[in-house]
Amino acid sequence: MVFSFLAGIVLGLIFFGGLYFTTKKLPASKSPALLMFLSITLRMIILIGGLYIVFNGEIIRLLVGIIGVFVAKYIIVYSVKRKVI
């Protein structure tokens, strides 16, 4: 269970950290639509693939991994808000 939770946090940090990075790069991009498309595609492949590996046939592992992703979301949101203020 601990592994699933930690894996969910890492996957969430990759997903939401990638989103933050992408939104910072959008204004300077020559092709923002392509950047957004590639970003969401890559982030979803990593997230879904990682959760599938964590899942390993047990639904409770998947749920704990998803909880880890939500925890990572709050970590990213909190750290971004602190940078802005």
Domain residue ranges of the chain, discontinuous segments joined by +: 2-80
pLDDT digits (tens, 9 = 90+) for 19-75: 999 999 999 999 999 999 999 999 999 999 999 999 988 999 999 999 999 999 999
Q: Are 74 and 12 in contact (CB under 8 A)?
A: no
The DSSP secondary structure of 34-59, one letter per residue, reads HHHHHHHHHHHHHHHHHHHHHHTT-H
pLDDT of residue 84: 60
Q: Which two tokens stand for residue 20?
A: 């933050």
Residue 83 predicted with pLDDT over 80: no
- The reply to whether the predicted model has a pTM over 0.75 is yes
Q: Are 26 and 32 in contact (CB under 8 A)?
A: yes
Distance CA 23, CA 28 (A): 10
Q: Read off φ and ψ for residue 58, nearest 5 degrees.
A: -115, 120
Distance CA 24, CA 47 (A): 21
Residue 85 predicted with pLDDT over 80: no
